[in-house]
Structures are given as structure tokens and as C-alpha cells.
């Protein structure tokens, strides 16, 4: 975040939403209503039951049927992940993660010194379910498998229906919890939409939900959908870590959701981000040298570029920032240093004009480096 702050550099590095699309006025009204409702919105408080019910309605839009006794409110998806890690991991637990995955997940688990079982994934089809099955069969009692079903970070890929079905069955068959991070599930740019794995398996899939990408990151309120018997141990952990999530921001969200504006807001985000995605694709087609490959994501905010063997994105990053004034995240950041020939580009934060310019700069740099 600190590195992205240089205003001279066009940054496609982070997964930031477009601030022009934040519902600032609606939030200001929601804040005023929350503060006007009851003085206890400023007190320590129990999780907001009204917000839990609204989240159940939100989950129904995603094809997930769940009740408020399964909704655990968090201080954002990262805390949700950290809480699940705290609950499920002992030192040296076996954790299954994809060979390219979200660095925030790696940060959340690494303090437990886990035994990491790496699951291969492909740029076009995502995680290889056969490898999951082999690992479940081979490894005694894995603590969890972490997946991003839609709009994978960094690959942008979404899993097909068959993979979702098999993952749900495998979790149930082997009794291994799947932690399904659905930060990007609601940001879908195609007509065909599939429900998350959680829709097919309510006992062994723990769903990590977030408002950061569909509303704003700054309220720091997210949720988990978990079996009811996890609610109490999660509460004990959460109390020890930060007592409770702000009652005020919970009520502010509840007031916002009560207006019924969220589905239309998400729809408008999808229209705007689809246009940005398409602009990035067009710019890539014009700028990328031969040998670079990418796929158009149906969900989320990232395009992944596979670079030819031997092209080291990390080695190019400094030059990109210094000479071309453009930034991206190299494959190294997602692969625990194992993969070099790839990069992640974000298309949600910059304007369409900036995306076109940034991609042109990256293309120029790559042509020069690969010449």
C-alpha cells in the first residue's frame, strides 16, 4: 500500500475498488440514521442480528440458503480468514493451498508454521481437483483447503460447475474443511452465474464473505457462513483479539442495506468493471508481445498474464516503476517465490484511459525486455 502511493506511477498492483463508485452519499445518510437510532450504537455490543438477517438475504442472491445462526460477523474478510486459521490450525498442521494464491491467506496462516501442501492450478481452469483428491487421500487430517471459486486472486479464473460439485463432495467425503473466499463472487460480468461451493455443502465448506469489493473496504465489516457449532469458539477468539466489531459500522451497514440499494449498486459496479475489463483486454491485445497469454475473467478485478519461460516479472518490476512509471504485482508474490514468469494486473481502480496507458507501458517494457 505504501509503495502504491507515488502519484506519478500508474499502478495496476493492488485490488482497490474504484473510489468514484463508493456510495458516499448513501453512507452519509446511513451513518446519520445509525447514530440517530440509539445511543448504544456507540457502546460495546453483541453482533447486530438485523445485519445477520440482511446478510442471509444477500447470500440468497448468491444462491446460498443459510440462517442467521450461521453468520459470524467479522472485522473484514482478512480477519475472517485469520479467525478460521486460529480455529483450525495447530503448529505444523497440513494446509492445502494453490500454487498461486492470495498472499493475505499465506500471511494469515504462516505464523502457525504450517506444512503446506501445494495444489497445482492452471491459468484457464483454476485449481486441479484431481490433485485435491489425491492430497485428501494421502495426507492425514489436513486442517483446511483454501479456495477462491470465482474471480480467483491472482488468476481471475472461475471454477466450472463440475469442479464445484466435486469439491463439495470431497470435503464431505474426507471431512476436510474448505475455506471458500468469495470476495469477488458478486462481481460477475457474464450472464451465466454459478453458486459458490458452499451452496452445495453446508457442513464442510466455510464461506468467507466481504463487503470490501461490493461497497467499500473501509467499514471493515465482513462475515463467515459456518456451521452453528463454530459460532462459540469463533466468538471466544474474536473477543480475545479485538472484543467486538464496531457496533456503529455494523448498524451503518444495516441502515444502508435496509434501503434495498445494494443489488442495484452491485449491478452498476458490474457494468463499470466490465467496461474496464474489456478496455484492459483491448489494450493487451494491442500492446503485448508474442508469447504472452491472458484470459478474460468472468469475475473479479484481476487479469493474469502468463509470460514466456525465462521472463522474470520480479526482475522487471523495478525497471517498470523507474523507467515506465507503471506497476504490477509479479508472480513471485503469489507463489511463495516459486514462480517468476507471470504478473497480475488490476482493472478496477484506474480509469479506462489510465488502464490503456498503463498496459501500453507494460507492453513496451516487455517488448524491450524480450527483444
Stated length of the chain: 371
The b-or-e profile of 311-345 (16+ CB within 10 A means b, else e) is bebbebbeebbeebebbbbbbbbbbbeebbbbbbb
How many CB atoms within 10 Å of residue 83? 25
Query: Smallest gap, in angstroms, from Cβ of residue 220 to its own copies?
Result: 4
Q: From the CB of 147, what's the least distance to its own copies, in Å?
A: 19
Q: Does 245 bind its own copies (CB under 8 A)?
A: yes
Segment interacting with its own copies (CB under 8 A) among 16-24, 277-285, 292-300, 313-321: 16-24
Please report how close the Cβ of residue 12 comes to its own copies at its closest, in angstroms.
15
Segment lying near its own copies (by CB under 8 A), choices 165-173, 213-221, 261-269, 294-302: 213-221
Q: Is residue 248 within the footprint of its own copies (CB under 8 A)?
A: yes
The answer to whether residue 216 forms part of the interface with its own copies (CB under 8 A) is yes
Contact positions with its own copies (CB under 8 A) in 27-86: 27-28, 31-32, 35-36, 39-46, 75-76, 78-79, 82, 86
27 with 227: CB under 8 angstroms?
no
Give Cβ neighbours of residue 184 (< 8 Å, ≥ 6 apart): 148, 150, 151, 152, 153, 213, 299, 300, 301
Q: Is the dihedral of CA 233, 239, 242, 248 positive or negative?
A: positive
Q: Which is nearer to its own copies, 54 or 249 (CB)?
A: 249
Q: Is 2 in the site for its own copies (CB under 8 A)?
A: yes
The window from 103-111, 177-185, 275-283, 333-341 that contacts its own copies (CB under 8 A) reads 103-111
Q: What is the Cα–Cα distance from 179 to 55, expressed in whole angstroms?
A: 18
24 contributes a contact to its own copies by CB under 8 A:
yes
Rounded Cα distance, 87 and 238, in Å: 10
Does 335 interact with its own copies (rule: CB under 8 A)? no
Check binding of 90 to its own copies (CB under 8 A). no
ω before 154 within 30° of 0 (cis)? yes
- 246 in contact with its own copies (CB under 8 A): yes
31 class by beta-carbon count within 10 Å (0-12 exposed, 13-18 middle, 19+ buried):
middle
From the list 49, 242, 259, 296, which residue makes contact with its own copies (rule: CB under 8 A)? 242
Nearest 5°: phi and psi at 265? -65, -45
Instruction: Kindly list the residues in this chain that would bind its own copies in the complex (CB under 8 A).
Output: 1-2, 5, 14, 16-17, 19-20, 22, 24, 27-28, 31-32, 35-36, 39-46, 75-76, 78-79, 82, 86, 91, 104, 107-108, 110-111, 212, 216-220, 236, 239-249
Amino acid at each position: 500500500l505504501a509503495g502504491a502511493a507515488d502519484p506519478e506511477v500508474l499502478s495496476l498492483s493492488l485490488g482497490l475498488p474504484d473510489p468514484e463508485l463508493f456510495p458516499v452519499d448513501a453512507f452519509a445518510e446511513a451513518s446519520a440514521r445509525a447514530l440517530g437510532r440509539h445511543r448504544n450504537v456507540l457502546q460495546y455490543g453483541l453482533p447486530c442480528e438485523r445485519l445477520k438477517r440482511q446478510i442471509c438475504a444477500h447470500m440468497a442472491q448468491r444462491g446460498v440458503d443459510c440462517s442467521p445462526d450461521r453468520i459470524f460477523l467479522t472485522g473484514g474478510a482478512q480477519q475472517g480468514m485469520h479467525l478460521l486459521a486460529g480455529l483450525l490450525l495447530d503448529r505444523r498442521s497440513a494446509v492445502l493451498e494453490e500454487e498461486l494464491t492470495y498472499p493475505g491467506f499465506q500471511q494469515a496462516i504462516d505464523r502457525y508454521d504450517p506444512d503446506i501442501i501445494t495444489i497445482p492450478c492452471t491459468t484457464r481452469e483454476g485449481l486441479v481437483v484431481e490433485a485435491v483428491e489425491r492430497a485428501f487421500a494421502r495426507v492425514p487430517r489436513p486442517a483446511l483447503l483454501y479456495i477462491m471459486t470465482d474471480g480467483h486472486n491472482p488468476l481471475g479464473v472461475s471454477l466450472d460447475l463440475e469442479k464445484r460439485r466435486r469439491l463439495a463432495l470431497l470435503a464431505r467425503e474426507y471431512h476436510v474443511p474448505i475455506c471458500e473466499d468469495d470476495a469477488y463472487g458478486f462481481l460477475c460480468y457474464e450472464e451465466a452465474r454459478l453458486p459458490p461451493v458452499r451452496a452445495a455443502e453446508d457442513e464442510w465448506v466455510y464461506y468467507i464473505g466481504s463487503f470490501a469489493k461490493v461497497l467499500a473496504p473501509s467499514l471493515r465489516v465482513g462475515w463467515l457462513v459456518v456451521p452453528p457449532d463454530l459460532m462459540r469458539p469463533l466468538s471466544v477468539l474474536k473477543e480475545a483479539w479485538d472484543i467486538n466489531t464496531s457496533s456503529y459500522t455494523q448498524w451503518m451497514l444495516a441502515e444502508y442495506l435496509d434501503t434495498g440499494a445494494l443489488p442495484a449498486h452491485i449491478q452498476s459496479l458490474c457494468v463499470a468493471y466490465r467496461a474496464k475489463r474489456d478496455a484492459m483486454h483491448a489494450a493487451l491485445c494491442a500492446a503485448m508481445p508474442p508469447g504472452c497469454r491472458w484470459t478474460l475473467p468472468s469475475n473479479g478485478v484481476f487479469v493474469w498474464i502468463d509470460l514466456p519461460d525465462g521472463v522474470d516479472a520480479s526482475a522487471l518490476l523495478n525497471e517498470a516503476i523507474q523507467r515506465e512509471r507503471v506497476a504490477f504485482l509479479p508472480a513471485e508474490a503469489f507463489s511463495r517465490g516459486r514462480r517468476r514468469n507471470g504478473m497480475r494486473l488490476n482493472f478496477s481502480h484506474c480509469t479506462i484511459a489510465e488502464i490503456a496507458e498503463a498496459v501500453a507501458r507494460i507492453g513496451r517494457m516487455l517488448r524491450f525486455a524480450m527483444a
